[in-house]
Amino acid sequence: MKTRPAAAPAIPPTAKPTNPVAPGGASPATAVPARTEAFQAGTTSSRAADLEGASHGYTSPTKVECPFSADEKKVLSQKIPCPALAGMFNAGMLKVEKDGTVKIPDLERALSQLGPSAVTRKVLTNGADNTDDVKGSFNLFKLNGSNLDHTGSSGIRQDGVHPERFELLMSFSKDGQRLTAKDLADAGEQFAKEDPGLRGRVTQLAEMTIVLEVFGQRAADGTRFFTREDARQLFVDGCIPSSWQPPALPGKVGIVDVLGGTALSLFRQLFNGR
């Protein structure tokens, strides 16, 4: 994939190489941890359950009108490369027309329920509005291949859902159960090696920072983390984690939080020569 021009950190991931390299520079033959191999060798039924969204994430108590049946939503959500957008769609927070059109004011309304500040929401909505030539809207089901594609992405939801890529992401967890900001930065290093590009690396780190700040649980020391189940619901099922609760005071995730987390992760990667 070609590196796109610099774009707002709007969240959709991109295609990945087929031979990922494991942490520490292992060869492709040993790149995927044992638990990934077990996942890939699992039964068809377990794989299908993940792809269909077996778990039920957060559901908005004030759902917007939806033109799709439950079965249609399961299929359509697999076309959405951005986990946050897929989550809002499945939670009933995002108004979508039958042809996939989402008006920018409706995206702004949905984002305002999640936690990003007005400035952060503006950056995200501007990015979505630039995915096609139609101003004031975007197509939720045609984001793959849009001008928001970038290098260095996880590839979990690119052109379909790929649970094996999620297992690669989880392999960077220090305890196998949680993903911290540091774990996500380590994973970002690997994804950037697979699909190089500085702009893509920055965008990917910004996206990961946003979803962690918005959907992550808070540890005793104030840092954010994903449990394995929360991360699976978000990245694989395309659902807002069932553990998530709307913020009491929306608008607290500012652009400074996003850029700060991105800068720290990027500095760490570049300082390490990765």
Q: The tokens 């068809």 sit on which residue?
A: 44
Sign of the alpha-carbon torsion through 113, 119, 120, 124: positive
Whether residue 243 lies inside any domain: the answer is: yes
pLDDT tens digits, one per residue of 152-195? 578 899 999 999 999 999 999 999 999 999 999 889 888 888 87
pLDDT tens digits, one per residue of 181-191? 999 988 988 88
Whether residue 66 lies inside any domain: the answer is: yes
CATH number at residue 154: 1.10.489.10
- Count of residues in the chain: 274
The whole-model pTM stands at: 0.72
Domain containing residue 106: 59-271
How many domains does the chain contain in total?
Answer: 1
Quick one: pLDDT band at residue 245, thresholds 50, 70, 90?
very high
Whether residue 36 lies inside any domain: the answer is: no
pLDDT tens digits, one per residue of 20-79? 444 444 433 334 333 333 333 333 333 333 433 345 799 999 999 999 999 999 999 999
Whether residue 139 lies inside any domain: the answer is: yes
Look at residues 102, 68, 61 and name the one whose alpha carbon lies nearest to residue 84: 102
Whether residue 106 lies inside any domain: the answer is: yes
Whether residue 150 lies inside any domain: the answer is: yes
C-alpha 99/C-alpha 89 separation (Å) is 14
Query: Is 8 a residue whose pLDDT tops 60?
Result: no
Whether residue 13 lies inside any domain: the answer is: no
